[in-house]
Amino acid sequence: MSWLSRLLGGQPAAKAAVRPAAVAGPGDAPPKLAGAKIATDAAAAEGPPFLCWLFGTPLAEPGLTPQEQQALAQIDQVLAQPALPPELLPRAASVVPQLIAMLRQHDLPVAALSERIAKDPIVAAEVLRMAGSAYYSRMGPVQDLAQAIQRLGVEGLQMAISRVVLRPMYQASPGTLTASVAPRLWEHADALSRHCAGGARQAGLSPFDGYLAGLLLDTGWTVLFHALQRGGQTDLTRFSAEAAAAFQQRAHRLFGRVAETWQITPAFSAFAADAARVPLGQSHDPMATTLRTAQSLCMLELATAAA
């Protein structure tokens, strides 16, 4: 976090400051997926259970197997604990509150940001990539880092930095259960964050809260896989429909348990508390409602890209 502290800490406000961009931001759905028809298609195209997509395997025979029952019981034991064991938490989970506190600063001077972002090649590359993406294509090519920052605005810059800093949460040690699905888990989280940000904007919610909800939701899966790994369940690769649904509900609860400790914003905290207790499909929380639609659009995008 030292580079991020240097990047955003203690900078005075200036006249030439980053302001929220007036154009469509990175949270908007890609043009090829926009419109009511896509929403209808997404609702109809359920596809395989998420867990089967994650492992790239077909559904197993109906009915819970003894191994699946044992694995679910292990997760239930974790959920029954007052606090989640630290060794199960995703990598870099402790940086989330620090990151959000820093990114909540506004009126950041473009010149100072450009100078400091340029010192971190990874962040600079992400800022330039996002500013030059299809979302901003009508504005022409990006000439330099300062123009990229001005184009993204506060909201876009928050998303770009969050994407870089939080990505390690989806990395895992080689040979583990999490490592076998980490690339797809990140691919899903990355796409879900964009769709959830766009949906949040349309629903009158904070797009950045939506972006973070989508980006962090799958950390529940990393906790679940760490728990299974610790319990010796390392050869689960095919799942019955019943098990896939049960694991998904528990992953959502695990996300809520982790996210409750982050205290990002009141709306995000309410969503996290809701997730820890209410299945996503039954929730009336505004962010959960947005997330359900974003999930369908996200899976449609990933299926289209793979076709």
- Confidence category of residue 135, pLDDT binned at 50, 70, 90: confident
- Alpha carbons 273 and 258: distance in angstroms, whole number: 10
Q: What is the pLDDT of residue 93?
A: 64
Residue 8 pLDDT greater than 70, yes or no: no
Phi, psi of 38 (to 5 degrees): -65, -40
The 10s digit of each residue's pLDDT in 181-226 is 999 999 999 999 999 999 999 999 999 999 999 999 999 999 999 9
- Confidence category of residue 7, pLDDT binned at 50, 70, 90: very low
- Contact present, 254 and 224 (Cβ < 8 Å): yes
Lowest-pLDDT choice from 31-35, 65-69, 213-217: 31-35
The 10s digit of each residue's pLDDT in 239-283 is 999 999 999 999 999 999 999 988 888 899 999 999 999 999 999
Q: What is the pLDDT of residue 207?
A: 92
Give the closest residue to 249 by CA, choosing from 210, 277, 215: 277
Domains of the chain, by residue range, sit at 1-18+106-170, 48-91+173-307
Q: What is the pLDDT of residue 14?
A: 39
Q: What is the pLDDT of residue 82?
A: 93
Residue 154 pLDDT greater than 70, yes or no: yes
pTM of the model as a whole: 0.79
